Amino acid sequence: MELSDLISPEAVFGNLKATSKKRVLQELGSFAANFYGLAESAVFAALLEREQLGPTGMGQGVAIPHARLEGLTKVVGVFAKLAKPVDYESVDGQPVDLVFMLLAPEDAGADHLKALARVSRVMRAETVRDKLRSTEDASALYAILTEPAASQAA
């Protein structure tokens, strides 16, 4: 599974001006609802429900909010580089500026876990994070996320 299987160029944002974790989830959830044909309230509720189980801030300024929803046929994503880092209750206590949201069908099972593992591997790579932080251009961000070096990130 490659990141290009999960995300399209239209689902990448280079300067999201959200000022809190809740606003990040609302903004990305709203976009995902419109883009993927889902109910906005259902997307936001599912993301909040998942956050209550434990924060999805994985450290090093990265968050991977995710949820399972009715109405999807495959795992899909939205990526945003935030204009300013926000407090996200991350495992390392650091604010988040890179967010890769994943939404999966309710019955996704292994595909959901594979997608989470893939995104996590790519976002853990310091070189990828540095490149993502060096631009606000959405097409450049998409290229960084989907380039072969990112796909092979440990």
- Region of 71 please: left (phi>0), alpha (psi -120 to 50) or beta: left
**How far is residue 95's CA from residue 133's CA, in Å, rounded to a whole number?**
14
Tell the burial category of 75 from Cβ atoms under 10 Å away from its Cβ (0-12, 13-18, 19+).
Answer: buried
**Bridge partners (DSSP) listed for residue 57:** 63
112 classed as catalytic = no
Tell the burial category of 121 from Cβ atoms under 10 Å away from its Cβ (0-12, 13-18, 19+).
Answer: middle
Active-site residue, from 66, 68, 118, 129? 66
Distance of CA 42 to the CA centre of its chain: 17
* Active site residues per annotation: 66
